[in-house]
Amino acid sequence: MQGEAIAALNAGLQQFANDVREDSLAAKRLEIAVVTFGDSVNVLAEFGSAKAFYPQPLKAKGSTPMGEAINVAIDLVSSRQRQYRSAGITPYRPMIFMVTDGAPTDSWERAARRVQEGERRKSFSFFAVGVDSADTNTLANISVSAPVMLRGLAFGAMFRWLSSSLSAVSRSTTGQAVTLTNPAGPAGWASIV
């Protein structure tokens, strides 16, 4: 992801951060972490309150260690859930939201098994979003739900959907089902692959 695409991704991420900070309930209840995977896997932001989420600009780099990044994200979510449970708090079902424009350059099969097991156990929800030339076949093998392809550079619309979805979850009670709008609908930001 280069040039206009990475600029649009960063603008959308900044708008997402503003949206969740401005929603008083979401700002108190949501926690956000960011894991990047260009050349290497980096935890750009550990879990922290949405009201304190001021993301650093993302940078595109070479290889795509997607499998490792998914494993790191699952480990972060699992660790945070254990922290909540040890404090006697039932956590909301977390979302892992992955955006990629490439194909994994590492082994991704273990990560796929962990995604499928986590979804089956309702430990988290996993969303795979492909951009541009993303390897949709691999995304379909990783994700339980159908991966989607971003329409053009609609990162702003994608992040508005994400902040709206997370806001709805933050207003629910733990364990309550929340219906999300279909991102691939007629007015959506994605198409199903």
Residue 117 clears pLDDT 80, i.e. is over it: yes
Model pLDDT for residues 62-83, shown as the tens digit of each residue: 899 999 999 999 999 999 999 9
**What would the mean pLDDT of 37-56 be, rounded to a whole number?**
94
Q: Give the three-state DSSP class for 175.
A: coil
pLDDT of amino acid 176? 65
DSSP SS3 for 42? strand
Name the band, by pLDDT with cuts 50, 70 and 90, for residue 29: confident
pLDDT of residue 170 exceeding 80: no
| Structural domains in the chain plus CATH codes | 3-192 (3.40.50.410)
pLDDT at 164: 86
| pLDDT beyond 80 at 175 | no
| Full DSSP string of 64-102 | --HHHHHHHHHHHHHHHHHHHHHTT-PPPPPEEEEEESS
**Does the pLDDT value for residue 26 go beyond 90?**
no
Is 70 exceeded by the pLDDT of residue 45? yes
Report H helices in 23-62.
24-29
Cα–Cα distance measured from residue 95 to residue 93, given in angstroms and rounded to the nearest whole number: 7
User: pLDDT at position 15, please?
Assistant: 95
